Amino acid sequence: MATSGELARLFEPRSVAIVGASTRPGKVGHDILKNILSSGYGGEVYPVNPHADEILGKKCYPSVLEVPGGIDLVVVVVPAASVLAVIEECGKKGIKLAIVISAGFKESGPEGIERERRLGELARQFGMRIVGPNCLGVMSTSNGLNTTFARGMPRRGNVALMSQSGALATAIIDWSLQQGIGYSKFVSFGNGVDVGVVDLLRAWQDDPETTVIVAYIEGLRDGPEFMEVARQVSAKKPVIVVKAGGTQAGARAVSSHTGSLAGSEQAYNAAFLQCGVIRANSMEELFDLAIAFAYQGPPRGRSVAIVTNAGGPGIMATDAVERARLRLASLDPSTVQALRKRLPEASNFYNPIDVLGDADADRYVYAGEHLLRDPNVDSVLAVLTPQAMTRPRETGEKLGSASARSPKPVLACFMGGQAMAEAQEVLNRHKVPNYPYPERAVQSLAKMADYREWCDEPPDPPVLIAADKEAVRAVLAAARQENRVNLGETEAREVLTAYGLRVPESYLARSAEEAAAQAEKIGFPVVMKIVSPDILHKSDIGGVRVGIRDQQEAQDIFELMLLRVRRYAPEAVIRGVLVQEMIQAGREVIIGSTRDPQFGPLVMFGLGGIYVEVLKDVSFRVAPFGERHARRMIEEIRSAPLLRGARGERSSDVEAIVRGLLTVSQMVTDFPEIVEMDVNPLKVKEPGAGAVAVDARITISEAEEAGDGYAVHRFQ
Ligand code: ADP
Ligand code: MG
């Protein structure tokens, strides 16, 4: 059997019953039966309907219980109100797989929600796996199984597709017939009461008929479980996902920078990136990628050679290559020599290779073949425009054979409509993906290269950071005791210290004299900050002063600060003024974390100040992550060159930032009750000199949701 596990028989049932099969053409219960009977499926088919003796020449049974012998799979098309009773009968008969096509569940109001809940319960009670409800069903092209009411089957091929939306399916089938992409399996799982994305990934990971998995999803039930399984499956075959809609904002009020910058989009992007899932940003891209991966293997590197018969499109392709973080291969001298031998003098012999508008198929493919043989080339992009001498069909044939002989991927961009229609078919036959515009070809190639890099990477386990967890537990327990969700400034500093992060020497002053004495003890210059549980952004109301030079100034600032706060925030409870060691020089960065409803702890990195707030120049990862991802978070922000000391800026201790990221990653993994935190800023000194957390804010969950309900990866 091609697929293994609990869902194997879903794709290869020996017998199928259709409950709600109908005698009337045009009814769903009729069309499904007709599809099953006419798509080449060879197993037993049992229509079930108490009001008919025979449908489409098949003996009809009043209930599944009356069907002689076992049933591997039941397809349920009765009205919603009868579904539960039918499933109970199926359970009694020992049926282990059901597809509920019927609508009228959670998508249709309170009654439907309750019905769906009970459907889920029945599944668990009988150990039955249920696809749906409110779905289109299942297709398997190798054995002609079609439990849908869609017209026609897609072409056979090696792409398995799962979709939360049923309506999409019909479009996909139609498109497949036209574009030549073939499918192995198709599942529309609708509301997904039971079988969902993760189950299907598992079912297809070892299916030899499936080399590419494609998914259209609107949400996920269990982010961490998805990540774990997707990571495992991605290592075997590409998983391409388009994620649509439904960005629900967290119910919790957002009190940190990280909380306001992190949306579910960022969480999905980070999660997909970490587990090797290839994200498509549109349906168009989903199919662009599906066809690229289905036809060609990913390139072993990022060097691209372009062959073109026209200058303009060659330049466009070149631009696209650079934007996509691929690079133009610099050709081996022997390749240039070979090209010079056969190409007209006016050609361009350096990448992109322009074989000129009058090139026939032989000249064009001669260049292509030499590029494929060049050791500096990882992939070839073949751009062709219809000109007087162009022979698209013949060029497609020859290019296709050249591609088949080479292990390197060839992607085509034969530009044009009518003139290229024939060539398109030829390229499909040779499994050369063809795109109408160079940008789409290049984008697909770039994501293939990303995927290959992900596959080649060694694992990136979280780095264990020594921490005094007892101390943290005590701090959190004390806050809980007082029903506080926001930790005080001192408490936050204790938590950071327990995880080995450096904080400035600080004392709380309750009078001007105390402030002066403490400042003296620390040594000038010092920083003073208002301490109040009611003030989140201290500097906004003049609650932070840096560079205080002597005792007199410390006293003055103390008075001034209290005055100011009383004026601008008269309600605020003031605990005193913090007198703090001033951390000289250093670049300010922010490391924060928030909890995503799907994926749990999400860690953010960015430069401090305006870079975060105005430019939103930040990066994200789902915790816990290892050193490689910590480094990438730093590299990913646009202002990363500043940290490396570009343009006369001082370079910063990147290692200290890496350590900071790993520390926060572990902290929020260890303590799921930390729902939000910001270290803002972490002042990062010159290389080797470390970093100091001069301000931190930590928010914990309300006591009753202790543990938070989020499953958290634990690698230890
Ligand atoms: P808030 O974020 O509530 O306004 P911070 O404690 O972050 O208050 O202080 C605001 C800014 O003051 C920081 O971004 C930093 O530039 C500077 N600052 C605060 N504390 C120190 C310190 N100990 N040493 C040097 N600069 C500091
Ligand atoms: Mg701050």
Tell me the C-alpha distance between 187 and 204, whole Å: 11
What per-residue confidence (pLDDT) applies to 6?
86
C-alpha of residue 630 to centroid of ligand 2, in Å? 22
Helices (H) and strands (E) in the chain, counts: 24, 29
Condensed to tens digits (0 to 9), the pLDDT of residues 575-597 reads: 999 999 999 989 999 999 999 98
Q: Are 332 and 317 in contact (CB under 8 A)?
A: no
The ligand whose atoms approach the alpha carbon of 611 most closely is 1
C-alpha of residue 597 to centroid of ligand 2, in Å? 26
C-alpha of residue 242 to centroid of ligand 1, in Å? 41
Which residue's alpha carbon is at the smallest distance from atom 19 of ligand 1?
694
Shortest CA distance to 583 belongs to which of 529, 645, 638, 661?
Answer: 529
What per-residue confidence (pLDDT) applies to 35?
95
Task: Express as a percent the part of the chain with pLDDT over 70.
Answer: 95
Calculate the alpha carbon distances from 68 to 41, 83, 282, 374 in Å: 20, 22, 47, 65
Phi, psi of 308 (to 5 degrees): -145, 155
- pTM confidence score: 0.92
Q: Are 171 and 185 in contact (CB under 8 A)?
A: no
Which residue's alpha carbon is at the smallest distance from atom 20 of ligand 1?
694
Handedness of CA 672, 673, 676, 678 (dihedral sign): negative
What per-residue confidence (pLDDT) applies to 180?
74
Q: Point out the ligand 1 atom lying closest to the alpha carbon of residue 681.
A: 14
Mutate to test the pocket of ligand 1, among 695, 697, 698 (most ligand atoms within 8 A of CB): 695
DSSP letters spanning 529-597: EEE-TT-S-GGGGT-EEEEE-SHHHHHHHHHHHHHHHHHH-TT----EEEEEE---S-EEEEEEEEEET
Tell me the C-alpha distance between 626 and 607, whole Å: 20
- Which stretches of the chain drop beneath a pLDDT of 50? 247, 249-254, 705-716
What per-residue confidence (pLDDT) applies to 2?
56
Matching residue, tokens 């006369």: 648
The ligand whose atoms approach the alpha carbon of 684 most closely is 1
C-alpha of residue 532 to centroid of ligand 1, in Å? 15
C-alpha of residue 547 to centroid of ligand 1, in Å? 11
Q: Are 203 and 8 in contact (CB under 8 A)?
A: yes
What per-residue confidence (pLDDT) applies to 389?
85
Mutate to test the pocket of ligand 1, among 529, 536, 577, 698 (most ligand atoms within 8 A of CB): 529
What per-residue confidence (pLDDT) applies to 363?
96
